[in-house]
Amino acid sequence: MEKRSPAGSTETGERQRLRSYGRRKARPLSGRKEQLLGELLPRLRLDLGKPAPAPLTQLFEVPVQEVWLEIGFGSGEHLLAQAEHHPEIGFIGAEPFINGVASLLGAIETRRLTTIRVHDCDAREVLPWLPTSSIGAAFILFPDPWPKKRQQKRRLVSQETIAELARSLRPGGLLRFASDDADYAGEALFLVSRSGVFEWQAETAHDWRIRAPDWPETRYERKALAVGRKPVYLTFTKV
């Protein structure tokens, strides 16, 4: 039997694939957050060892119309805002940073949200598990840009990732990407456009320079703006 890490990923998978994220944990967690990781997370964590339910909306105990995916939710600001604004949608959030996962769990408990499921490791483990055309929207917001040339092979957005998103998103589904690294944003635009499966929704420069009104702000975006970096916001639909 293949050994699994506490986060649910296989050791074989970790060896075969370069990590697209940095550290897994920072400062020590409070007692409450440790308790949430031990008690609430197991109830919300995806079980990738079993086939995904069909339809995917059956992941949730409450009725939902469709499922959206956020890859790398950080501390969960965007994910939580979307969940509160769209109670009819079920959400899958993937994030390997344990402190961010604990923050999300605290908000889920406090706000009594019932439409969020969690994968606390590499999102690329979730993508092939998803059924074809099962996701209504996917968000990749401010992923680690790995700016040094020797590091760029670690970037999350790759030809493989785009192919999996193209498969799992339904026709007309939304894909949003944001970065404050212009090189990474350009690479993402090139890879997504080259796939031939997505249509970029920008008509003017305003469309990629200004965050859409229904696009909640994240902590990483605020940090970028505070030091003068200008984010790029890309929106695509699956054709």
Single out the catalytic residue among 120, 144, 180, 181: 144
For the chain, give me the number of helices (H) and strands (E)?
9, 7
Lowest-confidence segment of 42-46, 111-115, 175-179, 207-211 by average pLDDT: 207-211
Residue 43 has phi, psi (to 5 degrees) of: -80, -25
Residue 10: the pLDDT is 39
Which residues are within 8 A (CB) of 156 and not within 5 positions of it... i.e. 6 or more apart? 20, 21, 71, 72, 123, 124, 140, 143, 144
Q: Is 22 helix (H, G, I), strand (E, B) or coil?
A: coil
Q: Per residue in 13-24, pLDDT tens?
A: 433 455 544 455
Amino acid (one-letter) located at 5:
S
Task: Give the Cα separation of 234 and 164 in Å (integer).
Answer: 18
Q: Over the chain, what is the mean pLDDT?
A: 87
CA-derived radius of gyration, the chain: 17
Residue 19: the pLDDT is 55
Q: Judging by beta carbons within 10 Å of its beta carbon (0-12, 13-18, 19+), is residue 50 exposed, middle or buried?
A: exposed
Task: Give the Cα separation of 144 and 150 in Å (integer).
Answer: 14
Q: Per residue in 32-47, pLDDT tens?
A: 889 999 999 999 999 9
Which residues are within 8 A (CB) of 174 and not within 5 positions of it... i.e. 6 or more apart? 136, 137, 138, 235, 236, 237, 238
pLDDT band of 209, cuts 50, 70, 90: very high
Residue 11 has pLDDT above 60, yes or no: no
Determine the distance from the C-alpha atom of residue 193 to the mean position of all C-alpha atoms in its chain, rounded to a whole number.
Answer: 20
Neighbours of 79 (CB within 10 A): 29
Determine the distance from the C-alpha atom of residue 67 to the mean position of all C-alpha atoms in its chain, rounded to a whole number.
Answer: 13
Residue 116 has phi, psi (to 5 degrees) of: -125, 130
Task: Give the Cα separation of 128 and 106 in Å (integer).
Answer: 29
Judge whether 183 counts as a catalytic residue.
Answer: no
Q: Per residue in 115-171, pLDDT tens?
A: 999 999 998 999 999 999 999 999 999 998 867 666 567 788 999 999 999 999 999
Q: Per residue in 53-104, pLDDT tens?
A: 999 999 999 999 999 999 999 889 999 999 999 999 999 999 998 999 999 9
Q: 158, 213, 219: which is closest to 187 by C-alpha?
A: 158
Neighbours of 137 (CB within 10 A): 21
Each domain of the chain, given as residue ranges in start order, spans 35-238
Residue 144: the pLDDT is 87
Longest CA–CA span in the chain (Å) reads 53
Q: What is the mean pLDDT of residues 159-185?
A: 96
Fold of domain 35-238: Rossmann fold (3.40.50)
